């Protein structure tokens, strides 16, 4: 649960949570939206908060922006305690899930809003707004109203508006959730490029594990208000710490202790990625099972096999022979792929 120890000469991290809790409702029976979270986010990183809805990831984001106050614990931004600092004085900006563009203002005025409230004169802020609009490839859209834009364009305006103040940390709350698949993939690449170019810390909240794995440098997996695991995408994917992480990140086979033993491991919970499994002829292999279902995935088929009193999934790449439902198959895998987990929950 504790984050990696910072290297000796490391500058103060962009965001630091020290046993932060945020409870809602009566003190006698609180809803623990965030429950004792410790977290360190390095400057310049692209950090993902991943988890199912209600896991506390959005509340954590709102704790950084200041829309929620911690019930306990402290939050530091670049080493400074922000417990008493209201949102408007925190040098972090947010891209809201619903974009929250001001409908009565033009796109230009929306983008320039942060400068307007700072008292920057009209000409300067209009010029800056145009720069930001061209950064998000919306040159020439300044005079339109948000209602005249498509979802993807609104998303870019929200991004430009959040970046105009040159925040040190940019928070993104499910930024791509409302976009269709193609647009979402394009925006993922663009956000990644933008972050590399601007060099500021991006923290984004998502429930889409694919998005988190492909975009983030490091990520925290949330479950029930706590962090289940922190690490790089590769670490979290390959070596899930708990059953929850194994199940939520990717779609791993989570094996109970007795099955793990049958698969040649110790008597502990373990995970085995579907793509690590190979289905072979049933003869001469230690493990075999019966094919129960197929699911076509385009790039391959996910085949469910009943074995050892449980069901496991294997990924059969397209072009390889697909065993029929009801057929008996052998199960083979590289023993190193069987990852034994330390945690239960």
Partner 1 sequence: MIPAAAPAILAERGLADRLTAIFWRRPRLLLGILLAPPLIWLGLVYLGSLAALLLQSFYSIDEFSGVVKQEFTLKTYAELFRAQNLDIIIRTLLMSAAVTLGCAIIAFPIAYYAARFAKGRWKAVFYLGVMLPLWSSYLVKVYAWKLILAKEGIITWAADALHLSMVLNAVLSIPGIGGNSLSTSWIGTFLVFVYIWLPYMILPMQAALERVPNSMLEASADLGASRSQTFRTVVFPLALPGIIAGSIFTFSLTMGDYIIPQIVGTSARFIGLAVYQLQGTAGNIPLAAAFAVVPIVIMLLYLTVAKRMGAFDAL
Tell me: does residue 267 bind partner 1 (CB under 8 A): no
The gap from C-alpha 221 to its chain's centroid, in whole angstroms, comes to 7
Indicate the SS3 state at residue 44.
coil
308 forms part of the interface with partner 1 (CB under 8 A)? no
Measured over the CA atoms of residue 178, residue 181, residue 187 and residue 189, the dihedral's sign is positive
235 near partner 1, rule: CB under 8 A: no
Question: Counting contacts by CB under 8 A, is residue 162 touching partner 1?
Answer: yes
Q: Is 67 in the site for partner 1 (CB under 8 A)?
A: yes
Q: Which stretch binds partner 1 (CB under 8 A): 23-31, 158-166, 277-285, 329-337?
A: 158-166
How many residues does this entry show for the chain? 345
Based on its alpha-carbon atoms, the radius of gyration of the chain, rounded to whole angstroms, reads 24
Tokens of 38: 């410790």
Tokens of 173: 């709350």
Give min distance, CB of 102 to partner 1, in A. Answer: 6
| Per CB under 8 A, 197 contacts partner 1 | no
Alpha-carbon span 220 to 229, nearest angstrom: 6
User: Taking CB under 8 A as the rule, does residue 65 contact partner 1?
Assistant: yes
Q: State yes or no: residue 36 binds partner 1 (CB under 8 A).
A: no
Which 8-state DSSP code applies to residue 308?
T
Examine residue 30 and tell whether it contacts partner 1 (CB under 8 A): no
Residue closer to partner 1 by CB (options 114, 231) is 114
Q: Which residue do the tokens 């008597």 mark?
A: 267
Q: Among 30, 52, 87, 282, which residue interacts with partner 1 (rule: CB under 8 A)?
A: 87
Closest CB to partner 1 among residues 67, 296:
67
CB atoms within 10 A of CB 175: 27
The minimum distance between CB 121 and partner 1, in angstroms, equals 16
Long-range pairs for 131-140: beta carbons < 8 A, 24 or more residues apart: 132/160, 132/161, 132/163, 132/164, 133/107, 133/108, 133/157, 133/160, 135/160, 135/163, 135/194, 136/160, 136/194, 138/107
Residues β-bridged to residue 311: 306
Residue 114 interacting with partner 1 (CB under 8 A): yes
237 binds partner 1 per the rule CB under 8 A: no
- How many chain residues are in contact with partner 1, going by CB under 8 A? 27
* Interactions with partner 1, residue window 116-155 (CB under 8 A): 116-118
- Go through 257-283 and write b for each residue having 16 or more CB atoms within 10 A of its CB, e for each that does not: eebbeebebeeebbbbbbbbbbbeebe
User: Residue 92 or residue 216: which is nearer to partner 1 going by CB?
Assistant: 92
Q: Minimum distance from CB of 151 to partner 1 (Å)?
A: 16
Q: Among the candidate windows 28-36, 53-61, 115-123, 301-309, which touches partner 1 by CB under 8 A? A: 115-123
Q: How far is it, in rounded angstroms, from Cα 213 to Cα 198?
A: 21
- Residue 102 lies near partner 1 (rule: CB under 8 A): yes
Tell me whether residue 157 or residue 279 sits nearer to partner 1 (CB atom). Answer: 157
Minimum distance, C-beta of residue 92 to partner 1, in the bound complex (Å): 8
Asked if residue 238 binds partner 1 (CB under 8 A), the reply is: no
Q: Which residues here bind partner 1, judged by CB under 8 A?
A: 65-67, 86-89, 92-94, 96-98, 100-104, 113-114, 116-118, 161-162, 164-165
């Amino acid at each position: 649960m504790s984050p990696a120890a910072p290297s000796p000469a490391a500058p103060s991290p962009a965001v630091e949570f020290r046993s932060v809790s945020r409870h809602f409702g009566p003190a006698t029976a609180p809803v623990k939206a965030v429950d004792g979270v410790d977290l360190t986010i390095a400057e310049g990183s692209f950090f993902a908060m991943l988890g199912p809805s209600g896991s506390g990831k959005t509340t954590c984001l709102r704790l950084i922006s200041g829309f929620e106050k911690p019930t306990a614990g402290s939050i530091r931004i670049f080493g400074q305690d922000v417990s008493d600092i209201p949102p408007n004085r925190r040098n972090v900006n947010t891209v809201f899930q619903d974009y929250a563009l001001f409908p009565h203002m033009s796109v230009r005025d929306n983008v320039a809003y942060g400068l307007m409230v700072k008292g920057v004169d009209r000409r300067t802020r209009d010029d800056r707004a145009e720069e930001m609009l061209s950064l998000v490839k919306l040159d020439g859209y300044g005079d339109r109203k948000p209602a005249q834009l498509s979802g993807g364009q609104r998303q870019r305006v929200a991004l430009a508006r959040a970046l105009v103040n040159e925040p040190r940390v940019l928070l993104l709350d499910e930024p791509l959730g409302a976009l269709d698949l193609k647009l979402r993939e394009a925006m993922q690449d663009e956000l990644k490029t933008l972050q590399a170019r601007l060099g500021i810390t991006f923290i984004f909240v998502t429930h889409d594990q694919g998005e988190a794995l492909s975009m983030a440098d490091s990520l925290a997996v949330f479950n029930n208000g706590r962090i289940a695991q922190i690490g790089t995408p590769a670490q979290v994917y390959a070596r899930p710490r708990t059953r929850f992480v194994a199940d939520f990140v990717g779609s791993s086979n989570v094996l109970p202790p007795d099955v793990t033993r049958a698969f040649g491991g110790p008597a502990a919970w373990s995970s085995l990625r579907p793509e690590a499994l190979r289905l072979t002829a049933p003869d001469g292999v230690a493990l075999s099972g019966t094919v129960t279902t197929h699911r076509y995935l385009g790039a391959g088929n996910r085949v469910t096999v009943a074995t050892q009193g449980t069901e496991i999934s294997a990924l059969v790449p397209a072009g390889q022979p697909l065993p029929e439902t009801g057929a008996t198959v052998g199960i083979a895998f590289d023993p190193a792929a069987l990852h034994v987990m330390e945690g239960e929950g």
